[in-house]
Amino acid sequence: MSDPSPEQAAVRPVIGISTYRQLANWGDWRHIPADLLPADYALSVERAGGVPVLLPPLGSAESARIALSRIDGLLIAGGADINPARYGQEPHEHVTTWYDDRDAWELWLLAEADRERLPTLGICRGMQMMAVAAGGSLVQHLPDVVGHGDHGGTPAGYSSTDVTVEGEGRIAALIADRLTVPSHHHQAVDAHPGFRVVARDGDGVVQAMEADGDRFAVGVQWHPETADDSGVFDGLVAAARERAARRG
């Protein structure tokens, strides 16, 4: 990715971020349906120079097409498990909760982003959804494979995972070759057609993947929005800025 011109650098691209729709409590309100997301996602986009816009789950592919026609980049955020039926499997005993409205919405968003070659970043569940949208599959319960639950976080929030970047590519240009990342997942990408693995941890778990070609389409399994780890957000915003500048 070339350095932006002064005119390009002045552009603040709009980044759409997928959200939950769940019952929530705030103030005097209890169990109210709400469209919500941890603020760290939007703050990370803003710090990278983008303008974040939340994309709550809507009920049609047409809504996804309209939404993406008005933004410059897409971020598929973390969250709950994906319905295993989306990748042709029965649920594991540890997979008990999913949200079909969000699954459908993000699949529509990713299909439209692929059609429009929109810069896209997936974080945790978001990377897993990118793999599923491409026809891939997931490891439903990682402890069954690696023999421990260390990836799944702690009672206080996140655990730590050591990640090694493999080879060259977009991820290698954005982050260090080796880093310790915040982790909170019990699933992982298994099959990932159209993407190549560019980072793993010591258990061999896929920690980052990216599409070949000149489009920014990157997924990471960890949570860079919670740490001093702006590289992937810088990459997304830079790619979105280039696209916005080309569109005028």
Helices (H), 1-151: 6-9, 39-47, 61-68, 100-116, 125-133, 143-146
pLDDT at 8: 54
Tens digit of each residue's pLDDT, the chain (248 residues) = 455 555 555 789 999 999 999 999 999 999 999 999 999 999 999 999 999 999 999 999 999 999 999 999 999 999 999 999 999 999 999 999 999 999 999 999 999 999 999 999 999 999 999 999 999 999 999 999 999 999 998 877 899 999 999 978 999 999 999 999 999 999 999 999 999 999 999 999 999 999 989 999 999 999 999 987 789 999 999 999 999 998 86
Model pLDDT, residue 5:
55
> Does the annotation mark 223 as catalytic?
yes
Cβ atoms of residues 241 and 11 within 8 Å: yes
Q: Determine the Cα–Cα distance for residues 164 and 61; give it in Å rounded to an integer.
A: 37
Hunting for tokens 């860079």 — which residue is that? 224
pTM: 0.94
Length of the chain: 248
CA 133 to chain CA mean position, Å = 12
Position 247 scores a pLDDT of 80
pLDDT value at position 4? 54
Annotated catalytic residue: which of 185, 186, 192, 223?
223
- The catalytically annotated residue of 124, 184, 192, 242 is 124
Contact 143, 127 (CB under 8 A): no
Q: What's the pLDDT at 227?
A: 85
Q: In this structure, what are the phi and psi dihedrals at residue 89, rounded to the nearest 5 degrees?
A: -125, 160
Q: Could you say which of 106, 210, 225, 242 is catalytic?
A: 225
**CA dist., res. 136 & res. 248, Å (int):** 35
Euclidean distance between CA atoms 11 and 193, whole angstroms:
33
